[in-house]
Amino acid sequence: MSKQTIAVLDRDKCVAGKKCSYECINFNPGVRMGKETVVKGEDGYPEFDEEDCIGCEISAKKCPFDAVDIVNKPQELDRPVHQYGKNSFRLYRLPVPLEESVVGIIGPNGIGKTTALKVLSGEITPNLGELEKTVDLKEAIQYYRGKEIQKHLEELKEKDVKVAIKPQTVNKLPKMFEGKVKELLEKTEQKNNLKEVIQKLELEEILERDLGSVSGGELQKIAIAATLIKEADLYCFDEPTSFLDVKQRLKVARVIRELAENNKVIVVEHDLGVVDYLSDYTQVVYGKKGTYGVFSNVKSSREGINQFLEGYLTDENIRFRKESITFETRPPSKPVKSKEKTDYPEFTKKYPGFQLDVEEGELRNGEVIGILGPNAIGKTTFIKVLAGEEDPDIKLDKKISYKPQYLKMKSKKTVKQLVNSQEILEQVFDLRIKKFIEDLYEKNINNLSGGELQRVAIALALARPSDVCLLDEPSAFLDVERRVEASKLIRKVSTDREITTLVVDHDITLVDHVSDRLMIFEGKPGTKGKARSPVPMEKGMNKFLEKMDITFRRDPQTGRPRANKPGSRKDREQKKNRNYFYASN
């Protein structure tokens, strides 16, 4: 018998339909019983016969566009829950809803988390990998007989379960509904708890605004509110903290935790601090992006996160990543003592209804300055001023590279063509940065996902000739692994090139990982902001978290920051000592 293989073709990359000069479709990577493993399909694209393929991966290596992916299927896997088509992505196993509990789902992008939620909600009927016939829920129930997920599938079949999902992308809301925020929420309400939810999520000030005029963070909270006010047995939240600041993330986490007192809750999230804070249990999703994804067994919150970082599932005895993800376990490093520095002046920037006051400060070569503060407090305004986009009277006598918060990269070029058209430091790019985006080279810019577009923007910003690099929310749309990669890249390039990099972000883990010093923004969001001068990490982080009324400790096994439960012994102890972040274990 042949090895069980998974063969996937990315049609966005493959040019077989355009008479590929590499003739991959005519190339036979292995022959079994006289049958070719690669044939030309009706649409001109290759079709891989997985039963005959011996998994030698020659065709995958031959294709210069990385359009072919052939992997040996892990031995523990049998039939997929769902497969989208021949030589397409497939999902194995499902999240398990548990009574009065929050199950946190962690794993890379493009590996089936959103697909799994659609199966749980009934939006997708699982086909068990059967592409030639229609499969109903009865067959799926029979296949999962004796498994924890059987009960939920039976309830779906009998329509005895209601599922409410907060979707991953919230920017589509204004296109789906025209009108005021209040009108949308009143139309959605089913539980007579709208007033309570509005208060908990602090939505009072935007109720009379049109949905199309609110910010990304406000849209996120509206989508969460619309989910909370629905009558359901299972609530699913797909990336609920995107666009939210640290305080808002913890507030949303508390609301979701309260929801689990009488309901089943599943949360897909990339902010490990939030997952750890709100989850009772976790499931890790592993596999290969765009090829296959597998849900692990249910684990405790801490156990699941630590095994994800380690890259090894203990009870399944599965190694899914060669290297573990680790965090610094020592106190923050001392600030860079560079002779070269750039001063920026004290200044005030005014808009109708908002004013930002900035203290004078200095930027040292070779250091990374993290910037923390609530949404709508002036962080992006400060970055735009330094970039020369907001106030021509305030200019740094330095060459600036700027990655904005909202990316508007539209082009018919491939990523490789875009890179070749940019003014970049080729030696620096080839040595450090190229690896970060090389897997995207043959993709069209217009076809990139949010996370892929973010990676390209970060890479180009770091590679441009500059003295100061400004990165506004680089963690947006990136999964945990990519966030760690990005923070290491930012740290390394800034040090090697001896440039100053300023990073605005809401992910405490990333800011902690990358920064030498911190800038803290204070004030009243939407009305008045105050930007403090850069200070050492320990001082800045403690000051920021004290205002947030949140304490963090480090996990003794991985070194990752963990948010303490409010009122816990560790929380009370750290607050008493005014040590809000750097306590160990």
Residue 291, domain member (yes or no): no
Residue 350, domain member (yes or no): yes
Residue 456, domain member (yes or no): yes
Q: Is 54 left (phi over 0), alpha (psi -120 to 50) or beta?
A: alpha
Q: Where are the alpha helices (DSSP H) in 213-262?
A: 216-228, 246-259
395 C-beta neighbours (distance < 10 Å), count? 12
The amino acid occupying position 314 is: T
Name the domain boundary from 55, 72, 89: 72
**DSSP class per residue in 491-525:** HHHHHHHT-EEEEE-S-HHHHHHH-SEEEEEEEET
Structure tokens at 540: 């800045």
165 C-beta neighbours (distance < 10 Å), count? 21
d(CA 128, CA 274): 33
Structure tokens at 531: 């930007």
Beta pairing, strands 517-524 & 535-536: antiparallel
Name the domain boundary from 72, 100, 122: 72
d(CA 229, CA 28): 56
d(CA 342, CA 394): 13
The residue to which tokens 């009243």 are assigned: 524
Name the domain boundary from 52, 72, 92: 72
Is 450 in contact with 480 (CB distance < 8 Å)?
Answer: no
d(CA 361, CA 365): 13
Residue among 302, 305, 270, 251 at smallest CA distance from 566: 251
Residue 503, domain member (yes or no): yes
What range does the domain containing 68 cover?
A: 5-72
Tens digits of pLDDT across the chain (585 residues): 235 777 787 776 777 655 565 555 544 445 444 455 666 666 667 777 776 666 666 666 667 677 777 776 666 677 899 998 888 899 999 999 999 999 999 999 889 999 999 999 999 999 998 888 888 899 999 999 988 899 999 999 999 999 999 998 888 888 888 889 999 999 999 999 999 999 999 999 899 988 888 888 889 999 999 999 999 999 999 999 988 988 899 899 999 999 999 899 999 999 988 898 899 999 999 998 888 999 999 999 999 999 999 999 999 888 998 888 877 654 445 555 555 888 899 999 998 889 999 999 999 999 999 999 988 899 999 999 999 888 767 778 899 999 998 888 788 899 999 999 999 999 999 988 999 999 899 888 988 888 899 999 999 999 999 999 999 999 988 998 999 899 999 999 999 999 999 999 998 888 988 999 999 999 998 899 999 999 999 899 999 989 888 888 888 888 888 888 888 899 999 999 989 986 555
Question: Any idea what the CATH number is for the domain that residue 416 is in?
Answer: 3.40.50.300
Structure tokens at 53: 């393929």
Residue 536, domain member (yes or no): yes
Residue 326, domain member (yes or no): no
Question: Any idea what the CATH number is for the domain that residue 36 is in?
Answer: 3.30.70.20
Residue 347, domain member (yes or no): yes
Please state the domain count of the chain: 2
Indicate the SS3 state at residue 7.
strand
Residue 381, domain member (yes or no): yes
